[in-house]
Amino acid sequence: MPVENMQESCSLDNYLAMPDHTMDGRIAAARAKLGKDALILGHHYQRDEVIRFADFTGDSYKLSKIASQSSSRYILFCGVHFMAESADILAQPHQQVVLPDLNAGCSMADMADISQVEECWSKLLAAGLDTPASGGLIPLTYMNSTAAIKAFCGERGGLVCTSSNAKAAFQWAFARARRVLFLPDQHLGRNTAHVMGIPASETVVWDPYQINGGLTPDRLRAARVILWKGHCSVHQRFLPEHADKVRAAYPGIQVIVHPECRLEVCQKADAIGSTERIIQIIEEAPAGSMFAVGTEIHLVNRLGKRFAPLGKKVITLDDAGCLCTTMFRISPQHLAWALENMVEGRVVNRIRVSDDIKHWAGVALNRMLEI
């Protein structure tokens, strides 16, 4: 089957010029024609106009696993680029993964460029941090990273982790080496190190835009956790004063935040958890419970609507709200365009990870499953 992408921009422009609601019937018609051949995945942070068409919703790893276990030929991932890459890494040979808009990237994943990471690693090796005498060094990467970074870690004895098993990943690494290089989210890495009792004096941040990461040899030698200077643009916006403000406005409210938030915010929270864990906490709470949630605004608003009839109040931790602007790029128009091209025998915006990167990224993912 021929593979095409944004060269179809003229026809895509015609879609983008039309209102969202005019796509509903076209999406439904295309899905009916494709049947089980097409599977639509919607990440929790996706906008409502798109996620309502999803066959499954969830976080990136959960959705990739669901897709790989399905019989569908086409996987339409309404998320961001690294998520579609993960789906392709886990996909069966007959499956093709599509990202409805190639501009839907992830600012956090983009903060760890593979060439910068390779340069960092060479500097760490030159400093002797990987030698038996120094205790060794293992790279770990968060799921929110490019396939190239996942492969980098897999090839060098490391693994991939999710926000819910980061602590287990750290424990696995420390059983094998004295030091960890954690990519690309400094906040998840710092929060995990803090929970494990690793002091701040043994946690440093490598800035790829400074000479030697902005660190002295003594600071590097003293470190057990080397954090990459990356972050989620959504979660970094939450501040400690947001927790103080919401508690003053709603006495008795529980603050739940994602571990991609700053350490100072997490320390103010009643609970910290992945998107799936946040949902679980609210589901299990009794009627009358109130929650201020520090994560992406589309998910928070959706939870507010879902649990209001059950007598539970769910609001955002920050009144200004924070949306994932890159994921927001995917629209009903992009989804309709991708589906209708499939109906006509064309696969647009296919995401394909090279065999070598797929192999080593798969190694890193399989190691995660072992823990």
User: What integer best gives the mean pLDDT of the chain?
Assistant: 94
> What digits encode the pLDDT tens for the residues 128-137?
998 988 999 9
For the whole model, what pTM was predicted? 0.92
Which amino acid appears at position 25 of this protein? Answer: G
Q: What percent of the chain has pLDDT over 90?
A: 89
Beta-bridge partners for 225: 180, 203
The confidence score (pLDDT) of residue 311 equals: 97
Q: For the chain, what's the residue count?
A: 371
> What digits encode the pLDDT tens for the residues 152-173?
999 999 999 999 999 999 999 9
Query: Lowest-confidence range among 15-24, 31-40, 81-90, 235-244?
Result: 15-24
When pLDDT is averaged across residues 229-237 and rounded to a whole number, the result is 95
> What digits encode the pLDDT tens for the residues 57-97?
999 999 999 999 999 999 999 999 999 999 999 999 999 99
Instruction: With a cut of 80, say whether residue 11 has pLDDT above it.
Output: no
CATH superfamily of 109-233: NadA-like (3.40.50.10800)
Q: Encoding tokens for residue 112?
A: 């760890």
The confidence score (pLDDT) of residue 321 equals: 74
Residue whose token pair is 């350490």:
263
φ/ψ (deg, to 5) at 200: -60, -30
**Boundaries of every domain in the chain:** 3-105+326-358, 109-233, 235-316
CATH architecture of 3-105+326-358: 3-Layer(aba) Sandwich (3.40)
The confidence score (pLDDT) of residue 72 equals: 97
Q: What percent of the chain has pLDDT over 70?
A: 97
Class of domain 235-316: alpha beta
Instruction: With a cut of 60, say whether residue 5 has pLDDT above it.
Output: no
